[in-house]
Amino acid sequence: MEIISVIPRGYCQGVVRAIMTAKRTAEQYPDQPVTMLGMIVHNRFVVEECRRMGIRFVENPAKSRLELLDEIEEGVVIFTAHGVSDAVREKAAAKGLIVVDATCPDVIRTHTIVREHAAHGDVIYIGKKNHPESEGTVGLSSRVHLVTSAADVEKLDGLENILITNQTTLSLIDTQEIIDACLARWPDAVVCKEICNATRVRQEAVMNLKDTDVLIVVGDPRSNNSNQLREIGRKAGIPETCLIESVLSLKEEMVKNKNRVAVTSGSSTPNSLTTQIITFLQEYARTGQFILPEEVISTLL
């Protein structure tokens, strides 16, 4: 069995920056409560590491960032890499909170494009419903219209001077399908593709895999970009794809009797988790023994 370590994979610069910002903030304000507005990234290992530094999280998938702010009364609030709307910034300022902004520069660039265009036209924003990044971008203006599928495009009406753009972590393939549906209705619309470079190169690396029997994506089940990588692998024709959180979720039947197994990970997945899986699979390929070492199990439970 050959193990293919897909490159590039794992942490992107936006996630590294957000984690460093969180660590620095916890050190800088030792006497203040420090709260993250939402999950720093969708990965429980990263969240647990931040908790050990004393950072508290307010998170509830049923609530918007604006509503979650009601649960922070004092101290420091950290905005995650996904970015926030102006209403969230204004509410945090009105509450007298110290604001630390870890919004990814790529998301800030999308916000700038959207804000400038919404001053004189409509923006069709391709994104995921209830995702923090789309919530933050759609909240920039009432002229930003969220579409999640080609079917949503048919429901839009009365738009003028249209810009089409998108959430940074979407699938290249799905996004292009929705852009095509928009252009079929509004051929003169301006298209500004905003899938970030980190997402694009990770997806392209999966699309370019040849003769692969299994694709293992390491990531949290809630991580959008990890799920997208799995979906890209499926659409690229890889017969079996799976998303696993850590080596503990790896089952022998996933890889038994396979010739080529590729391993990648989402941009919110710590590289140590992926390396652990690659090392384990290499050992399995060498010995045929599917036994997890006790010391590995104890670090992950």
Binding site for ligand SF4 (CB under 6 A): 12-15, 81, 104, 106-107, 168-169, 196, 198-199, 225, 267
How far apart are the C-alpha atoms of 64 and 38, rounded to whole Å? 9
144/196 with CB nearer ligand SF4: 196
Residue 239 Cβ, how far from ligand SF4 at the closest point, in Å? 27
In this structure, are residues 263 and 275 in contact, taking their beta carbons and an 8 Å threshold?
no
Residue 169 Cβ, how far from ligand SF4 at the closest point, in Å? 5
14/127 with CB nearer ligand SF4: 14
How far apart are the C-alpha atoms of 278 and 273, rounded to whole Å? 9
Name the residue number minimizing CB distance to ligand SF4. 14
- Nearest to residue 278, comparing CAs of 219, 218, 220? 218
Burial class (CB in 10 A: 0-12, 13-18, 19+), 159: middle
Residue 167 Cβ, how far from ligand SF4 at the closest point, in Å? 9
3/195 with CB nearer ligand SF4: 195
- With vertex at residue 10, the alpha carbon angle to CA 5 and CA 11, rounded to the nearest 5 degrees, is 155
How far apart are the C-alpha atoms of 120 and 125, rounded to whole Å? 16
Helix (H) or strand (E) holding 30: none
Residue 110 Cβ, how far from ligand SF4 at the closest point, in Å? 8
Residue 197 Cβ, how far from ligand SF4 at the closest point, in Å? 7
198/278 with CB nearer ligand SF4: 198
The b/e string for 76-85 (b: 16+ C-beta within 10 A; e otherwise) is bbbbbbbbbb
Residue 15 Cβ, how far from ligand SF4 at the closest point, in Å? 5
10/233 with CB nearer ligand SF4: 10
How far apart are the C-alpha atoms of 295 and 224, rounded to whole Å? 30
In this structure, are residues 145 and 157 in contact, taking their beta carbons and an 8 Å threshold?
no
Q: 């219209």: which residue's tokens? A: 145
Answer yes or no: 133 catalytic.
yes
The b/e string for 119-132 (b: 16+ C-beta within 10 A; e otherwise) is eeebbbbbbbeebb
35/203 with CB nearer ligand SF4: 203
**Torsion angle defined by CA atoms of residues 51, 57, 59 and 64, in that order, rounded to the nearest 10 degrees:** -150
User: Side by side, which strands form the sheet with 2-5?
Assistant: 2-5, 260-265, 214-218, 240-244
**Options 133, 194, 231, 245, the catalytic residue:** 133
What are the catalytic residues?
133
